[in-house]
Amino acid sequence: MEKFLHQLQKNCISGIILLLPLVVFFMILEKVWGFFRKYGDKVSHILHLDKILGPVGSDILGGLFLILLIYFSGYLVRLSFLKKFADWVDDKLMVFLPGYEKNKKLAEEKLAHKVAKPNPNLPILLKYGEYWQPAHLIEENADGNAVVFVPAAPSKDHGQIYVVSASNIRRLPETTLGSLDESIKSLGKGILGFK
């Protein structure tokens, strides 16, 4: 019975941890959608689309406004002033919203896979004295230096950033970043098989 209660408690906590970011995401999405739907409703009424399409007209126009805003924001972010402003807002959100940085990174990774953009973040082993440490290769330059991120196990998102000589890096071309991160979460299990 005690084992069952412990498992029940563990499942409930895991469920809360899973659902909390989803609930926050959908609450924010509902607010954003409500904002654009309100203006879509006004424009739909001005253009008399509400008489033709009914309440669906405000949804269509609200969605169209949202898509146009996202599309033109992609152009605006290329301007250095707006990029600096967006970075400033991003830094403030990281301070005031717990978990924002982690969720942003996950979203960027998912978008990067959809865009098929080359990801410089590669799994490597970093020579650290007599030992090798699992790490992420962030970038390299022509001078033979590299920036690496060494995760602090069991978390794959927290750790240290080092600038090292590229000669201290052993690449793992047959290993995915996901399998390296899973190994870090499980305190190194499976690293010996990485190639």
pLDDT tens-digit series, residues 166-186: 888 888 877 877 788 888 887
Strand segments (E) across 131-189: 131-140, 145-151, 159-165, 169-171
Between the two ends of the chain, the Cα-to-Cα distance in Å is 45
**In Å, what is the CA distance from 119 to each residue of 7, 16, 48, 112, 150?**
39, 32, 48, 8, 17
Q: Which CATH number fits domain 122-193: 1.20.120.160, 3.40.50.11060, 2.30.30.140, 2.30.30.50?
A: 2.30.30.140
Q: What is the pLDDT of residues 47-71, one digit of tens each?
A: 877 777 777 777 787 888 888 887 8
pLDDT at residue 81 in the model: 67
For 36, other C-beta atoms within 10 Å of its C-beta total 20
Kindly report which listed range (21-30, 82-91, 145-154) carries the lowest average pLDDT score. 82-91
Strand segments (E) across the chain: 122-128, 131-140, 145-151, 159-165, 169-171
pLDDT at residue 113 in the model: 61
For 153, other C-beta atoms within 10 Å of its C-beta total 16
Q: Are 146 and 189 in contact (CB under 8 A)?
A: no
Domain with CATH 2.30.30.140 in the chain: 122-193
Q: What is the pLDDT of residues 5-38, one digit of tens each?
A: 888 888 887 777 777 777 777 888 888 888 888 8
What tokens appear for 129 in the block? 């004295």
Please tell me the distance from the alpha carbon of residue 90 to that of residue 98, in angstroms, as a whole number.
Answer: 13
pLDDT at residue 116 in the model: 42
Instruction: Kindly indicate the confidence band of residue 153, based on its pLDDT and cuts at 50, 70 and 90.
Output: confident
Q: Which has more confidence, 23 or 112? A: 23
pLDDT at residue 151 in the model: 87
DSSP assignment of 96-118: HSTTHHHHHHHHHHHHHHHHT--
Instruction: Kindly indicate the confidence band of residue 120, based on its pLDDT and cuts at 50, 70 and 90.
Output: low
Does residue 118 carry a pLDDT above 70? no
Sheet holding 145-151, edge to edge: 159-165, 145-151, 131-140, 122-128, 169-171
